[in-house]
Chains A and B, each alone.
Chain A
Amino acid sequence: MKCPECDADLSIPVDAAVGEIISCGDCGADYEISKKDGSTIEIKEAETVGEDWGE
């Protein structure tokens, strides 16, 4: 899969789960895995860190 931002190859671990965040090694853009069906994976742009994020 290619990075939608910079077109580099995205490295997605085989055990990556829906909701997990992956980062592009080239441009640093963050993506959330939105769908995973066997080897078919869909991603969407990850939310940016919010002011209320944390524990």
Chain B
Amino acid sequence: MSKFSIVFDRLRTEEKMLQKEAVELGHEASLIDAKITQINTSSQIQDFDFGNIVLERCVSYYRGLYFTACLEFLDIPVINEFNVSTICGNKLLTSMILKKNNIPTPKTYFSFSGDAAQENLGKIGYPVVIKPIIGSWGRNVMPLKDKDTADAIIEQREITDGPLDRIFYLQEMVDRPPRDIRVITIGDKAVTAMYRKSSDSFKTNIALGAEPEICDITNEMEDLCAKASKAVGGGILGVDLMEDKEKGLVVHEVNNTVEFKGLVKVANINIPKEMIEFAVNSIRK
């Protein structure tokens, strides 16, 4: 029997499924609410009851990231590691890591002021996609189809002026079917995949209502996902692929705290069981 913890800030179906599966496999799994857990610089590992490993499952990216930093400070292994979360939670870092590792990824442009973004757009042309470098569920991901739209979005960014609002991430609009592919990787191995189909939007997030449909994992997908997982540091990840009509499969995101309640509906493997077994095997290593 192994003992581990699932750290959460909002208890969702996924965390409950993970705990249930762990118990069914004969392990002890505690649910720890990050919001009410106190850690300080004098804290010791024995002050807590995290077990041998922690699955970090916070819905808030920054809360999960810095909670992971605290756990690693206490020498508690975490899935996923701080360095993995740092990369995967940041689209700019992810795009660069993918490219550096020769993994096909959409061409992406970075600008560091509104003026520079407009100048960049003048060279690239339209359409392009603008994305916030931090954020999920398709939030503030927008197609820029003409200069008027781009001007409005850039002006809006300058008004809101959040710390990341003047970092502009502009990505080529990939010519693809109205769907993308989400692959769950566990320990660099693609274990299950789904198409995420959208009928009335170019966004394909399940959180926005896209329909999941099982997708067979091809050798090419398996190879690409293994490379993408290794490039960001491994763990339990959600690799997103698009089917570029010219270039073939491209990886556009690697997700850190992967949600799987959509995929569970169509997958022919037991996803939480695979995750728990990976965590248990990680303890033994």
* Pair A54/B61 contact, Cβ less than 8 Å: yes
A55 and B257 in contact, given A17-B16, A19-B31, A50-B60 (Cβ under 8 angstroms)? yes
* Pair A17/B59 contact, Cβ less than 8 Å: no
B255 within 8 A of A: yes
A53 and B136 in contact, given A17-B16, A21-B10, A21-B11 (Cβ under 8 angstroms)? yes
Taken together as a complex, chains A and B put the C-alpha atoms of A46 and B33 apart, in Å, by 13
User: Of residues 252 to 273 in B, which have CB atoms within 8 Å of A's CB atoms?
Assistant: 255-259
A37 within 8 A of B: no
A20 within 8 A of B: yes
Taken together as a complex, chains A and B put the C-alpha atoms of A55 and B11 apart, in Å, by 14
Taken together as a complex, chains A and B put the C-alpha atoms of A20 and B15 apart, in Å, by 10
* Pair B238/A55 contact, Cβ less than 8 Å: yes
B17 within 8 A of A: no
User: Measured between C-beta atoms, what is the minimum distance from A30 to chain B in Å?
Assistant: 10
B147 within 8 A of A: no
Taken together as a complex, chains A and B put the C-alpha atoms of A19 and B57 apart, in Å, by 13
B139 within 8 A of A: yes
Closest residue of chain B to A33, judged by CB?
Answer: B11
B48 within 8 A of A: no
Taken together as a complex, chains A and B put the C-alpha atoms of A47 and B196 apart, in Å, by 28
Taken together as a complex, chains A and B put the C-alpha atoms of A21 and B33 apart, in Å, by 13
* Pair A17/B135 contact, Cβ less than 8 Å: no
Task: Give the residues in chain B near A19, CB-CB below 8 Å.
Answer: 8-11, 15, 31, 33
User: Of residues 128 to 155 in B, which have CB atoms within 8 Å of A's CB atoms?
Assistant: 132, 134-137, 139
* Pair B135/A54 contact, Cβ less than 8 Å: yes
User: Of residues 40 to 75 in B, which have CB atoms within 8 Å of A's CB atoms?
Assistant: 59-63
Task: Give the residues in chain A near B60, CB-CB below 8 Å.
Answer: 50, 52-53
Residue ranges of A at the interface with B (Cβ–Cβ < 8 Å): 17-21, 32, 46-47, 50-55
